[in-house]
A and B are shown apart, each in its own frame.
Chain A
């Protein structure tokens, strides 16, 4: 069996899994200069290799992999019998059945193929705000999930949602592709100006050909956020939405007479930020999240609200595991 360990990681010293370790001196020698060194360390990678993105349904894959396919093929797992027909491989004959029944039957086995893991990263201007940065969190989460997919011999497709379009990064397969994935993610910058998440999602859904796990990492700050979920659910992929908000969006540290300026549209909203206003905001936020969750559940989409200050390990090993996204 092929080793699932990336060949170059034992010589690479990754930064610790904390944002404050992103000092230039921590950059390893063999790490490409375009790769963010703070994504994860080696121990974390070892743990990620034990995970797999879950698929409830068997889907048809492309290449051989480790997931059960709807196709019959060669594996150790027996699936069914069928009558022998001319030209069949004689090695598949069940001689024991022939001895008992004097009829030729071919043993069918479950085919194991890969799946395509779709990771959608919202890179709109709103994702570049917050402390910690939501886009930074999204890139790290995407990298971790991509590594889980790569370690499972799955095909990983990362797409960046900006403006009204979805920009697909080159697909990767195999753990040796992780550095390219990291480099690609590190190059992702937040867009400027207004964005239309629903349009970008629709754009991605239109060009999706292979089904598999689909994970959207976004703050969903879009009036048509429910439509985004509906578009993704329409792809018949197993969709998971990581609704990412920063701590200052969950509990705004605002006070006084303020004009709040939208990072995308630059539209200002005047508020008197006092405790009553903040209480109403929090109530409104909770109601909005509840609405999104309801819409997600209705379409069998896994909805996962997370804070951008959530440690990556906790996200992967606790939250995503608890929701059955990874196992």
Chain B
């Protein structure tokens, strides 16, 4: 029997020590008695004076020696060897996507995956090392070339299920990179293989797949949005519920407005189909709409498909755009296209002024957006600005001339300002040649300078359209009112079509109000993250969107930086502490919702992993599996030692145990006797 710590055999020196102690312990207490006549006849353990004869009869000594032997064996760490089933270098890819939270295996797929991984890693060679990659929305290395089993177990147990979706591509790429460092490495993937498409990656090492998961009983809310009608007054909730199970089920959709239930509907969901639901009863002033999917509880009846094995996608949230009336000042010679597009937007009150009237216009600080059409004032107001064909160089950009017939470039596909905007047939006759400032991003690129760019100028949303509308056919296209609405939404901080949900784990750009020093983001679980606003960027990026639910961001604005004149300039007869010690004030919160709207992830039907195996090389390297795995036997030995300890204690305290047992029997017998007596009296 090979031993990992043979020096621990020195512990056997305790054996003679115990024997010596035991012999010393046999010094008996002398007790005078009237006569030993009766005792002499029944003495059973000691008449002989030889100590070895005494020791031979002691059960306690035997148990104590066995206990020492067992403990010494535990300390020597004996082990058995067998052929290893894994390579020396193993990269474990643990799928931690949302579908791994399914409860079709107890307690959930991720826990079962961890168990399966630990069981599989028992075949690791004695000198093998393991790297652990957790594949969720993004892949991360949890442990790198760990050899210690306890650290490895700790690393695997630390992986938590993500609310995001994962197709294992990133995880396998990362695992491939890690495997490339060592010769003869092997990738072990533990997943439910429920992704719709196989990862697009090629691996030069063998891939072994352990699959978890059994069923596909799941229904999900795959879309939830609040939309306003053309008047902007009436709002409707659009929900899409998908039944990803292979049988028809009935589910109850409950909709809550700011936490108050407004409606609940029982939906009969066909197998593998989506059902759209529209709810018009959204109360005015609602800020957050929540939808919950549950199994209807009808007493006495059996609901079809009473199992929903993934709860993450049974709730969704949507942010209702603000109802506040926004004031927009249009400064220019007059543009009917622009006026119509802006005036048709909901919750917008449009005011107009000519360039001559602008300097004398009062109450300019009351406007939420100022649109300069072919005009720029000498000093730009500290307000969100939409400048159209700026005539001169200003803080909005350096104008260097004009360009004839610029051809619009290919915009970024994920540009939010161009959502639902088709510019393929846009023609521009003349545009201002304006240099893209550092604070802006190009929205519609042009040949020499962008035709439309947007960004945060000193924390103020600003967009510049480089061409006059009348110098293009844009106002005549369907895209114009949509672009106008998108521009108004970004510059006013509202979205006429509602606030789009954020994918779990995706970063969110939060626009900080002017003067804000930080944003306090409250997560759905109540935890608060404070993000400082750096310099003139005017926005912060929040990345902690792992939790599903509604996030609230409050701007922190020091009083000294507030534009409030009472705090900044007025002379007060009494010192105002808020003016000297800059207290912090907060403005209205920014809300956004993180939802798992991913039908592919909600589809928890497990795969068999063959397509993942096919990604790797088939034949394992001979050198990879030539190691031996060790099975340490200390656990049964430790249990044996514990059992011996208990038996030794019982033998030592056998009198007490027997008295206790006799007492219990007496109490139970007396209690029964009393019961019988009392019942007899009752009769």
Give the interface of A toward B (CB within 8 A): 126-127, 129-130, 134, 219, 221-223, 246, 249, 252, 254-265, 267-272, 274-275, 277, 280-281, 284-285, 288
In this assembly, does B678 line the interface, its C-beta being within 8 Å of a C-beta of chain A?
no
Contact status of A257 and B28, CB under 8 A, knowing A277-B44, A281-B38, A281-B39: yes
Distance of B22 from chain A, by nearest CB (Å) = 11
B32 touching A261, Cβ below 8 Å: yes
A261 to B44 Cα, complex, angstroms: 17
A256 to B31 Cα, complex, angstroms: 11
In this assembly, does B570 line the interface, its C-beta being within 8 Å of a C-beta of chain A?
no
A-chain residues with CB within 8 Å of residue B45 when the two chains form the complex? 270-272
Distance of B653 from chain A, by nearest CB (Å) = 10
A223 to B41 Cα, complex, angstroms: 11
Distance of A52 from chain B, by nearest CB (Å) = 33
A280 to B38 Cα, complex, angstroms: 10
Count chain A CB atoms within 10 A of each CB in B25, B36, B45, B46 and give the residue with the most: B36
Pairs A-B, 10 closest by C-beta atoms: A221-B35, A129-B34, A270-B46, A126-B34, A259-B28, A262-B36, A269-B36, A257-B28, A259-B30, A260-B33
B-chain residues with CB within 8 Å of residue A264 when the two chains form the complex? 35
8 Å CB contact of B41 from A259, A260, A284: A284
Q: A256-B29, A258-B31, A265-B36 are in contact. List 6 more A-B contacts (CB 8 A).
A: A219-B35, A259-B31, A267-B36, A270-B46, A270-B47, A274-B655
Distance of B449 from chain A, by nearest CB (Å) = 103
Distance of A111 from chain B, by nearest CB (Å) = 46
Q: Label chain B's interface by main secondary structure.
A: mixed
Distance of B209 from chain A, by nearest CB (Å) = 63
- Nearest residue in A to B27 (C-beta to C-beta)? A257
A254 touching B34, Cβ below 8 Å: no
C-beta contact mask, B332-368 vs A, less than 8 Å → 1, else 0? 0000000000000000000000000000000000000
B-chain residues with CB within 8 Å of residue A285 when the two chains form the complex? 38
A254 to B28 Cα, complex, angstroms: 12
A261 touching B31, Cβ below 8 Å: yes
B-chain residues with CB within 8 Å of residue A284 when the two chains form the complex? 38, 41-42
C-beta contact mask, B6-44 vs A, less than 8 Å → 1, else 0? 000000000000000000011111111111111111111
A270 to B38 Cα, complex, angstroms: 13
Contact status of A263 and B26, CB under 8 A, knowing A274-B655, A281-B39, A284-B38: no
B35 touching A126, Cβ below 8 Å: yes
C-beta contact mask, B136-167 vs A, less than 8 Å → 1, else 0? 00000000000000000000000000000000
B-chain residues with CB within 8 Å of residue A267 when the two chains form the complex? 36
A221 to B653 Cα, complex, angstroms: 33
Q: Label chain A's interface by main secondary structure.
A: mixed
B-chain residues with CB within 8 Å of residue A270 when the two chains form the complex? 28, 43, 45-47
List, sorted by A's number, 12 A–B pairs whose CB atoms are closer than 8 Å: A246-B34, A258-B30, A259-B29, A260-B31, A260-B39, A261-B31, A261-B32, A261-B33, A267-B36, A268-B36, A269-B43, A270-B45
A223 touching B37, Cβ below 8 Å: yes
In this assembly, does B470 line the interface, its C-beta being within 8 Å of a C-beta of chain A?
no
Which residues of B41-56 are within 8 A (CB) of A?
41-47
B655 touching A219, Cβ below 8 Å: no
8 Å CB contact of B34 from A219, A272, A280, A281: A219
In this assembly, does B234 line the interface, its C-beta being within 8 Å of a C-beta of chain A?
no
A291 to B264 Cα, complex, angstroms: 93
C-beta contact mask, B630-674 vs A, less than 8 Å → 1, else 0? 000000000000000000000000110011000000000000000
B34 touching A263, Cβ below 8 Å: yes
Distance of B78 from chain A, by nearest CB (Å) = 37
B-chain residues with CB within 8 Å of residue A263 when the two chains form the complex? 32-35
A194 to B44 Cα, complex, angstroms: 25
Distance of A181 from chain B, by nearest CB (Å) = 26
A-chain residues with CB within 8 Å of residue B30 when the two chains form the complex? 258-259, 261, 268
B-chain residues with CB within 8 Å of residue A249 when the two chains form the complex? 33-34
Distance of A232 from chain B, by nearest CB (Å) = 19
A-chain residues with CB within 8 Å of residue B655 when the two chains form the complex? 255, 274-275
Distance of A269 from chain B, by nearest CB (Å) = 4
B32 touching A269, Cβ below 8 Å: no
B-chain residues with CB within 8 Å of residue A259 when the two chains form the complex? 28-31
B-chain residues with CB within 8 Å of residue A280 when the two chains form the complex? 42, 44
B-chain residues with CB within 8 Å of residue A268 when the two chains form the complex? 30, 36
Distance of B336 from chain A, by nearest CB (Å) = 111
A260 to B27 Cα, complex, angstroms: 13
A260 to B38 Cα, complex, angstroms: 11
A219 to B37 Cα, complex, angstroms: 11
- Nearest residue in A to B35 (C-beta to C-beta)? A221
A130 touching B34, Cβ below 8 Å: yes
A271 touching B46, Cβ below 8 Å: yes
A-chain residues with CB within 8 Å of residue B28 when the two chains form the complex? 257-259, 270
Distance of B677 from chain A, by nearest CB (Å) = 29
